[in-house]
Copies of this chain bind each other. A is one copy, B any other.
């Protein structure tokens, strides 16, 4: 590295090189969220949600991911986790706050070993907080934002992540009370509020379509935005082929159309064999009730 002993700190932004494959990233504006990143099957997958200060999977560690404080890893395939040490090292280099990284509990130990190996090589601290999260477990990234891991179906252990907004609301019986009365009740120890959660964004990582049928995943299909893989989009590769590789075919998504209550669905992880026009054609052929609310992340195609 250019050295951690460097005294003149440089901001990460002033160092965004024009070479970055991500300079062309315009990001998508969907349902009030800005969604950025790159996702090409086998190459790299990293989805960035700047307003939530998080990224899902790290791919090859695109520049914009570095400024996100939270990173959620879906599974240990190289195109999803390969850039993880680079992400931590670069945040260290620029003296940014050590990131918090959430991984499937089953790979936590391996991820620790990864960092140990790098520390032995580069004599750096690679500071970060590593959290192993099991399916069903939750992690709060803010007081009003929690993330729950949900089950996905891939060829190796994998999980998706569901971001919920969390709000405290006044219980119905106190709504008509004057402010000072409410204050008094609260100070006396009465529980005057209840908690509401709303599924905001779900990210699947790599998975077969089976996650759609999993009754535990009902919130995933109710999230405002569902970011899901659709590795294959045309007939040359069948839905059966997709299953064989642990992936989802667009035709399956269309078959399950009635189940998706999401306001928007962002499809990612298209096969590297596709040219942009193949993806665009497949998108424009999506019938109702999905038509008009399905988007494709085609950065890099």
Identify which of B3, B20, B90, B122 contacts A76 (C-beta below 8 A). B122
Residues of B within 8 A of A1 (CB): 41-42, 77-79
Q: How far is the CB of A79 from chain B (nearest CB, A)?
A: 6
Are B110 and A121 touching (Cβ within 8 A)? yes
A170 interface contact, C-beta 8 A: no
Are A86 and B114 touching (Cβ within 8 A)? no
A143 interface contact, C-beta 8 A: no
Are B60 and A83 touching (Cβ within 8 A)? yes
Task: Please report whether the interface of chain A is mostly helix, strand, loop or mixed according to DSSP.
Answer: loop
Whether A273 contacts B122 in the complex (CB less than 8 A), given A93-B42, A117-B113, comes out as: no
Are A245 and B5 touching (Cβ within 8 A)? yes
What is the oligomeric copy number? 2
Task: Considering the complex, give the chain B residue whose CB is closest to the CB of A89.
Answer: B78
Are A85 and B78 touching (Cβ within 8 A)? yes
Identify which of B42, B60, B76 contacts A2 (C-beta below 8 A). B42
Range of interface residues on chain A?
35 or more
Are B15 and A38 touching (Cβ within 8 A)? no
Are B301 and A18 touching (Cβ within 8 A)? yes
A246 CA / B4 CA spacing, docked (Å): 11
A86 CA / B45 CA spacing, docked (Å): 13
Are A40 and B14 touching (Cβ within 8 A)? no
Identify which of B15, B85, B271 contacts A82 (C-beta below 8 A). B85
Identify which of B107, B118, B273 contacts A15 (C-beta below 8 A). B273
Are A121 and B107 touching (Cβ within 8 A)? yes
Residues of B within 8 A of A90 (CB): 42-43, 78
A253 interface contact, C-beta 8 A: no
A21 interface contact, C-beta 8 A: yes
Residues of B within 8 A of A81 (CB): 121-122
Q: Which 9 A-B pairs have the closest CB atoms?
A: A19-B300, A76-B121, A3-B245, A2-B42, A78-B89, A2-B41, A113-B117, A82-B86, A21-B21
